[in-house]
Structures are given as structure tokens and as C-alpha cells.
Amino acid sequence: MTDTKTIPVLIPGRMHAGTLEALQGLFDVRQAQGQPIESLSESERAGIRGVALMGVFTAEMMKLLPNLEIIAHFGVGYDGVDAGYAAANGIMVTNTPDVLTDEVADTTIGLLLNTVRELSRAEAYLRAGNWEKNGNYPLTKTTLRGRSVGIMGLGRIGLAIARRLEGFGVPIAYYNRSERDDVAYAYHPDLKSLAAAVDTLIVAAPGGAGTDKAVDAAVLAALGPDGVLINIGRGTVVDEDALIAALQNGTIRAAGLDVFAREPHVPQALIDLDNAVLLPHVASASEHTRQQMGNLVIQNLEAWFSGRPPATPVPEAVKAGLERRG
């Protein structure tokens, strides 16, 4: 085993507690404690060889660390990390795919059912004493029965959602940039055509420039007045203002959202809507799954600094041929 204890690894912001503790036992962990990286001395910055983080790491931040070799991202969606700049500059980026797929897919099904059957509102009704005082909770106008589902982003998570939905007996279609040759679900080469063909749209696509505000007013109009939008991908994929307007004026019927454009800020207009179910980005947030994600972050850093290929490099790093150190 290579002794990694002398290797300085920076944790610029928050980190899963168990993972932070394990990293502190393995590396010479430096924490910026929420301060900008510029607040570290020049010699301290020059010593940093690895970064472990959840969230954002820009090209500007990378430029401040001249000897940075690897950024180990806690989370599968790494749209906050400039992986293109990293790859062009020989910096490895890893993420945490697969270990969270089932948890996120489970949560998506829960959010979908909650949205169409109003489960959290029905519970609030009971807790407020209304069942005893005012009788039964009103029948829900929406149901999963008879719905057809479109998935934007039939990747690891999208496919796990689709497999679960097969058990619910609803037809499934999808939109990706490229058609998959290993599924029989109907493929739509553009998002608007998918939205027009279904009444329930689930977003499981990554954030970033390629998907920014892809679910816009036209897509929501195509989804139609019985439409339900579920977003567990990234908040930036949906034009939030257009969604608020569509929920307010009945362009679509309801939405279930785990992600938002400017987290942790959630627009008051969304909070005020009773046809929206809102979750604070919890799709992978169980102790079990977060531990698995943390283990993968650690595994990737250990592999890299022992001269072995990390388990889960991002595609940009693979394309740049950065499989292992030097």
C-alpha cells in the first residue's frame, strides 16, 4: 500500500461527515472551511494535489492550484466542475455513478406517486385535524392510472426509473441525444415531440449548457393540461419561470421537484403553489447511499495516488487519456 498520509488533499466546502473523517485518516486533508481558495497561502495552494468536493469547481479555482492532479466529485452529476478545462490541463475528474442509481430511482417513483396522489398534502390534512373535523380528504384529480410516461435522459438513473415503472403498467417513451439499441421503449429525437406524446415527463438528464432550460414554455405546453412534470435531474434543465407560469395558469396540472435552478433557494411562487410537491434535493440522501458515494470518492483518490486507474473517471477524462497518473 502506498502511504498517502503526506499527500495534501483540499476539501473546499461541505463534505459528507463519514467521508470527511475517512479522508482525514488517509490523506493530509486541508479544509478551506467555506473560505475562497485564494485565502490559502500560495505555498499551501502549491502543495495541493487532490480535491474532494460536492458542488462547484471552476477553471478559475483549478488555476489557483498549480499542482492539482485529481478532483474527486461526491455525486454523479458533475455539471459544477469544469471537466473540459480539467481534461485539457491533465487533471483527472471522477464522479460517483451507479452506487446511487437505485436510491434515486426509488425516490423518483415516490415523488411521482406523491405528486399524482397528493400524499404529502393528504398527510398535512390529517395532521391539521381536518379528517376528524371536516371528513375525508378530497378525491385526487390525478392518478398514475392511464398515464403515459416520457423520460428525458434514459441513462443509468432514467433506465432504473423505467424498469420500476414497467411494474406500474404505464407505457414508457424517452428522449436522449442518441437512441439506445438495448431498450424497446419508444424513442423521440426531440424533447417537444416526447412531451406531446405523453402526459407525464420525468427529467433524469444532467445539468450544464447542453440541457439549460430545455424544458421551456413550449415543452410544457406540449405536455398539456393533464401534464405532470417530475424533475430529479438538475434544476437548470427546467425554465423555472415558465414552469411557475404553467402551474399557475393550468398549462400543466402538477409538478414534483427535487432540484431547483438556484439551490437552496426555492422561489416563493413555487412554495405558494398547491399543485407542486417540493423536495430539498434528497433523491440520493440516505445514510446508506451517501456512504457508498463517499466510499467511491475515497477509492478513486486512493487508486490515483497509488498509480492505479480510478474506478469512475468522467467521460471527459477518459477521452483525454488520463486513466492513471503520469
Provide the binding-site residues for ligand NAP, judged by CB under 6 A. Answer: 76-77, 97, 100, 104, 153-158, 176-178, 204-207, 210-211, 232-234, 258-259, 281, 283-284
The minimum distance between CB 37 and ligand NAP, in angstroms, equals 24
How many angstroms separate the CA atoms of 66 and 61, rounded? 10
How many angstroms separate the CA atoms of 55 and 47, rounded? 22
The minimum distance between CB 316 and ligand NAP, in angstroms, equals 12
**Closest to ligand NAP by CB, 29 or 152:** 152
**Closest to ligand NAP by CB, 153 or 313:** 153
The DSSP bridge partners found for residue 70 are 50, 92
Residue whose Cβ sits closest to ligand NAP: 155
Q: Which residues are catalytic?
A: 234, 263, 281
C-beta pairs of 22-25 under 8 Å, 24+ apart in sequence: 22/294, 22/298, 23/52, 23/297, 23/298, 23/301
The minimum distance between CB 139 and ligand NAP, in angstroms, equals 30
**Closest to ligand NAP by CB, 37 or 157:** 157
The minimum distance between CB 283 and ligand NAP, in angstroms, equals 3
How many angstroms separate the CA atoms of 49 and 56, rounded? 18
The DSSP bridge partners found for residue 256 are 230, 277
**What are the two backbone dihedrals, phi and then psi, of residue 149, each rounded to the nearest 5 degrees?**
-110, 135
Please choose, from the candidates 64, 52, 2, 47, the residue with its C-alpha nearest in 3D space to the C-alpha of residue 24.
52
Under a CB-based contact definition with an 8 Å cutoff, are residues 19 and 72 in contact? Answer: no
DSSP state of 81: B
**Closest to ligand NAP by CB, 49 or 290:** 290
The minimum distance between CB 263 and ligand NAP, in angstroms, equals 10
**Closest to ligand NAP by CB, 106 or 241:** 106
The minimum distance between CB 213 and ligand NAP, in angstroms, equals 12
How many angstroms separate the CA atoms of 302 and 296, rounded? 10
Under a CB-based contact definition with an 8 Å cutoff, are residues 233 and 258 in contact? Answer: no
The DSSP bridge partners found for residue 262 are 265
The minimum distance between CB 260 and ligand NAP, in angstroms, equals 10
**Closest to ligand NAP by CB, 52 or 154:** 154
How distant, in Å, are the alpha carbons of 112, 134, 205 from that of 173?
A: 16, 41, 14
Under a CB-based contact definition with an 8 Å cutoff, are residues 142 and 158 in contact? Answer: no
When computed from its CA atoms, the radius of gyration of the chain, rounded to whole angstroms, is 22
**Closest to ligand NAP by CB, 47 or 153:** 153
Please choose, from the candidates 104, 96, 122, the residue with its C-alpha nearest in 3D space to the C-alpha of residue 164.
104
